[in-house]
Amino acid sequence: MRWLCLTVLLLQGGIVLAGPAEDREAFRAFFEKRFRNIPVDAHVDGAYALDAAKREQWLAMEDFPPYEFTVDDGRMLFEEPLADGSTYGDCFENDGAVKHLYPQYDTVRGEVITLEMAINDCRIEAGEAPYPYDGEEIIQLTAYMAFVSRDNLIDVKVPREAEPAYNAGKQYYYSRRGQLNFACSHCHLQMSGMKLRAETLSASIGQVSHWPTYRLKWQETGPLHRRFARCNQQVGAESLPFQSEVYRNVEYFMTVMANGMPINGPATRK
Amino acid sequence: MRRAIIFTVLYGWCLAAAAEMTTAEINVQIAAARALYEEAKSGHHAWIATRRLLEDAEAALDEGDRAAAEILAQRAYKTAAASVAQMQREKTAWQKRVPGN
């Protein structure tokens, strides 16, 4: 009886949050309805799933992908022995093909661990200094690990202890921010498929599948959190440091929404 | 008539001078804006515009341009207050944007 009363009170207050599985179902249903002629999993290609002409140009570019050297450099780094003689292969199974399993929630540390953090944990354990999160080595390594993880389906778990982190990421994603008063969801849910100047706004679902990404605007391969920071700045909000707790939680939420979709990173985007 | 005009001009000038903030008052305004900016920042809702206005207000004050500093400090305060209001509003408003809600 007490639980029933509490549930009624919570419902009245409008503070009941759906769980990750229900969220993902509703998320997929939203895009199925919005883009009836496009299979949901095709959104891993971002705006190129929505614009046939641009897709053609993009596919031509993929013949000689600009991120190729980054992947090659990442492979060399991955195979190089660390200070104690171990390699990254000792930390990551399947020769590093684990991108689809990150981010993970570490119940002992009580926080979301991204692939970048796991790489640095591996380095510290081997007696090496951690890489800076905006440095090229971590991008090379994650580019290589994304490459060898291609076609693996994203499978990120949300244990019960992780729900506060998941919900924090979810709240951030849907909250208006900055002087322009935009939430991430305004561009990538409500206005997905529409034009922002000459660019088509990609759908939110599957956006995490292809990082790190070579952006023509950057003229280099960069991490997902760099894109988060730029999104913040574009709406006039102060951005946060790469791998900050907030950005890791947002990545966690977005990746859970993309569960079941294939990894296709690294990629090229405008 | 001439005396009346001179009196009106002088009176207006005195009013304007009286309305202009002192350096100490501008500093108070800047501090109040900064406090709101930090409050918004702690909730990840700070605006870039506020930071830039605060920097510009302080620079104007350093250069002795009180009139500009006053306007910039007031604008910084307004944007900072708006960012805190946004933060408060979004504590619940975000839920309406979740598909399925």
- Residue A232's alpha-carbon distances to A98, A118, B14, in angstroms, are 29, 25, 46
Q: Could you confirm whether A184 is annotated as catalytic?
A: no
- Determine the pLDDT at residue A8: 45
Is residue B90 less than 8 Å (CB to CB) from chain A?
yes
- Determine the pLDDT at residue B5: 55
List pLDDT tens digits, range B12-63.
Answer: 444 455 567 899 999 999 999 999 999 999 999 999 999 999 999 999 999 9
DSSP A213: E
- Residue A120's alpha-carbon distances to A82, A123, A132, A255, in angstroms, are 12, 5, 9, 21
Q: Residue B51: list chain A partners with CB under 8 A.
A: 238
Say yes or no for a CB contact (<8 Å) between B94 and A190.
no
Query: What average pLDDT does this structure show over A3-25?
Result: 64
Which residue is closest to B78 within chain A, CA to CA? A179
Kindly tell me if the per-residue pLDDT of A203 is higher than 90. yes
- Determine the pLDDT at residue A124: 98
Say yes or no for a CB contact (<8 Å) between B47 and A178.
yes
Query: What average pLDDT does this structure show over A192-217?
Result: 93
- Determine the pLDDT at residue B33: 98
Cα–Cα nearest to A142, from A114, A123, A121, A169: A114
Which residues of chain A from 168 to 207 reach within 8 Å of chain B, CB to CB?
A: 170-172, 174-179, 181, 183, 185-186, 189-190
* Lowest-confidence region among A13-17, A140-144, A218-222: A13-17
User: Confidence band (pLDDT; 50, 70, 90) for A11?
Assistant: very low
Q: Give residue for tokens 């002992």.
A: A108
Kindly tell me if the per-residue pLDDT of A7 is higher than 80. no
Cα–Cα nearest to B60, from B48, B50, B73, B51: B73
| DSSP states of A67-136 | THHHHHHHHHHHHS--TTS--HHHHSSGGG--GGG-SEEETTTTEEE-HHHHHHHHHHHTTPPPPPTTSH
H or E element at residue A244: none
Interface predicted TM-score of the whole assembly (ipTM), two decimals? 0.87
- Determine the pLDDT at residue A112: 98
- Determine the pLDDT at residue A197: 87
Picking from A27, A177, A186, the nearest residue to B99 by CB comes out as: A27
User: Confidence band (pLDDT; 50, 70, 90) for B10?
Assistant: very low
Query: What average pLDDT does this structure show over A240-253?
Result: 98
- Determine the pLDDT at residue B61: 96
The model's pTM is 0.90
**Distance between CA atoms of residues A204 and B83, nearest Å:** 25
Substitution target from B36, B38, B52, B90 for chain A, most A beta carbons within 10 A: B90
User: Phi/psi of residue A116, each to 5°?
Assistant: -60, -45
Contact A105, A162 (CB under 8 A): yes
Task: Tell me what percent of the residues of chain A surpass a pLDDT of 70.
Answer: 94
List pLDDT tens digits, range A33-47.
Answer: 999 999 999 999 999
Residues 6 or more apart whose Cβ sits within 8 Å of residue A102: A113, A114, A115, A118, A156, A255
Contact A168, A146 (CB under 8 A): no
Residues 6 or more apart whose Cβ sits within 8 Å of residue A96: A78, A88, A89, A144, A145, A148, A149
